[in-house]
Structure 1
């Protein structure tokens, strides 16, 4: 579709291409156009506050060039101006980091008014303008970029870190919604260096304000576990939060509204570390296996023991053997003996414990 105005590829797509990373999402900026002109060409506006439109075929986002003026608190306290005479440079100036303020026109020419390409080469996160301080969400975004691009060796420019610390001191972090905080955290957990996310927040004096319940300790064991590519985001969260007492961890999950798969796995991990001690006898193992639904929910149990085996420096196969041992026991024989109700339950527990006792592994003994 040929447009009578200028269209530019911007932001992450340009940055990732220059870093030779896979480009998944494409964001576009349109200059010299009105909402009505885009709608006439089949674009569909999404949201009322920002002039963002979906392309009629690709469904990619096209945003009218805009300027923002801080009018209220938090990351939503902005008034947008998206008149057709706003230039591309004015649009790029409102962005957070110079590496995210590079555009590419339809001929492939890069437009880089804030020297983002040089910062990419120098591996530096640097704010575009002093307006950076107006948006508290940028503290989380920089921390998330630091985690995602850690393997490139990026550092945060000292003057940018000073602005992040100023945001923390301003009290504006308290205006961030639980959903927005979780969204940035989840993106960080999808990286192999999620611990860097928390390191940056700590340096920015934001960790205790955003995650006051979290007791986070940076060490090589944690880093090694998190860097394993086969580990899931929920497992990374369980490892990162392992030092947080269960009561506080539960409060944190309620406050940031974490999804159940993250919540349950992290709390089960912490509960074991807080309440169990290896070696344990067969009765204790049986009680624990039932408490985590090892029989009824084998897939979540596998995620749990993958974490616990790493944290306790033990063999995953030994943990799996525990579950297999009790899963093989059928209550049918006990029912034929006339047992039912609580009596059946106690008898079943006894049979399971006896079976575990006969197959003691190095993990149990």
Structure 2
């Protein structure tokens, strides 16, 4: 029995990045062998075990064979005679198909180190085409490593296009799409994942609501960066630069989908795209089965991002109304995600995604400051105070609202006169 450290830990070590988790491949053993040594089985589809001390994952060397459509259509074979090279051959990218033996020697049968040094994301073998999830994973790795200068190898991009044309992407299930998409959104350059999916044709299959935006023009005085799709990439770059949460980044991705519904006769203006976009986003997040927190933030940002942008010029009553519509008093934890996505929208214009990702904040986003100040002033107002005064029914709601408006007005006066 021989154990090899494989995959991401070897890759990140060679890149000089922190190594958080290590995965291992075991050659020359059976499940019974590992269980006798105290390893605990955890794999459902193929033999994976947890080390009795380190709790790291140890998988038996295995091969795989395509037997059906989609990413679930595989038969796995794990046996003592499967070699390390055979196991590495089934991996997605050459940079993930390296190993170190017990002495620390690098084992690199598919040129992973050379591709690391040259900055290429390249498939290991043609078996890459058998699993459509690998297109999403490729996008995720591009979103992670593009800031380091990595690009997708031309032959790998061509293979992805062939996979899309063959209908492999059609077999993806919503849960898996969301799992990979959410991870890609949290990488340093999430816009690169969307660009890759679009370049190979997968975006039109997975997120057609986003793909269509690249053919929709906008007013150049507001959006010199280009069409709505390009603006969306810029907003994602800004969201990553601002280190926003997952829910805020998803909202940044989908916030302008309503512009695809604007009649061409009205271009490049997009009146009511906020209202028009709300049902589109609802359908999108239901289809992908997006978690409730992300889904609701995306809906609120899509519907109210224009209102948020105008907040610094609003009267106290309008600010309270906006806070109510954002459900800030009942669910304050969503407010920062909404404001973060709106700030990314504010900053995601005027340059390329790369320029925006590398540029610090140039001017303050006054709208967010106005809303935070209004919320801080209005949120302490409690209905209990008016119940104790004897008010009932609708009278309570009217009194709460009036008190909140007065609190916001007083706060504004204090900040004005200081």
How much does 1:331 deviate? Answer: 4.3
Unaligned segments of structure 1, at least 5 residues: none
Decide which moves more: 114-123 or 166-175.
Answer: 166-175
Aligned to 2:149: 153
**How many aligned residue pairs are there?**
357
3-state DSSP class of the match of 2:366?
A: coil
1:45 equivalent to 2:97? Answer: no
RMSD between superposed Cα atoms in Å: 2.2
Question: In the superposition, relative to structure 1, how do residues 141 and 221 fare at CA in structure 2: closer, same or farther (>3 Å)?
Answer: closer
Q: 1:335 to 1:56 in 2, by over 3 A?
A: closer
| Preserved contact between residue 195 and residue 218 of structure 1 (Cα < 8 Å) | no
Distance 1:330 1:84, change over 3 A: closer
**Shift of the alpha carbon at 1:276?**
6.7
Match among 225, 235, 242 for residue 255 of structure 2:
242
Partner Cα distance (1:221, 1:45) in 2: 45
Aligned residues of 2:64 and 2:75 also touching (Cα < 8 A): yes
Mapped to 2, the partners of 1:277 and 1:35 lie a distance apart of 59
Displacement of 1:116 in angstroms is 0.6
Match of 2:208 among 208, 212, 235: 212
Alignment equivalent of 1:326, drawn from 363, 374, 378: 378
Structure-1 residue corresponding to 2:186: 190
Measure how far apart 1:59 and its partner are: 1.7
Provide the C-alpha distance between the structure 1 equivalents of 2:295 and 2:44, rounded to a whole number of angstroms.
Answer: 33
Alpha-carbon contact 1:213-1:251 (below 8 Å) kept: no
User: Cα offset for 1:330?
Assistant: 4.3
Q: Is the 8 A contact 1:189 1:234 kept in 2?
A: no
- Cα distance in 1 for partners of 2:18, 2:249 equals 23
Query: Which residue is 1:227 aligned to?
Result: 240
Between the aligned partners of 2:236 and 2:325, the Cα distance in structure 1 is: 29
Instruction: Give the equivalent residue in structure 1 for 2:135.
Output: 139
The residue that corresponds to 1:267 in the other structure is 299
Task: Write out aligned runs for 1:84-95 (5 A).
Answer: 84-95=80-91
Match of 2:57 in 1: 61
Query: Taking structure 1 as the reference length, what is the TM-score of the superposition?
Result: 0.90
Greater shift in the superposed pair: 340-349 or 71-80:
340-349
Distance 2:253 2:45 in 1: 36
Tell me, which stretches of 5 or more residues in structure 2 are unaligned? 214-227, 258-276, 347-364, 414-418
CA distance in 2, matches of 1:30, 1:48: 17
**Shift in Å, 1:254:** 1.1
Question: Which range moved further: 36-45 or 209-218?
Answer: 209-218
Deviation at 1:290? 1.6
- Does the Cα contact within 8 Å between 2:236 and 2:344 map onto a contact in 1? no
The 1-side partners of 2:255 and 2:139 are apart by 21
Q: Is the 8 A contact 2:198 2:204 kept in 1?
A: yes
Structure-2 separation of matches of 1:291 and 1:137? 38
Tell me the alpha carbon deviations over residues 291-318 of structure 1, each in whole angstroms, 9 at most, x when there is no partner. 3232333332233223334534435322
Equivalent residue number for residue 114 of structure 1: 110
Counterpart CA distance in 1 for 2:96 and 2:85 is: 13
**What TM-score comes out, normalization by structure 2 length?**
0.79
- CA change 1:170–1:211 in 2 (3 A) is same
Match of 1:345 in 2: 397
How many Å separate the matches in 2 of 1:32 and 1:334? 75
Aligned to 2:263: none
Residue in 1 that maps onto 2:318: 284
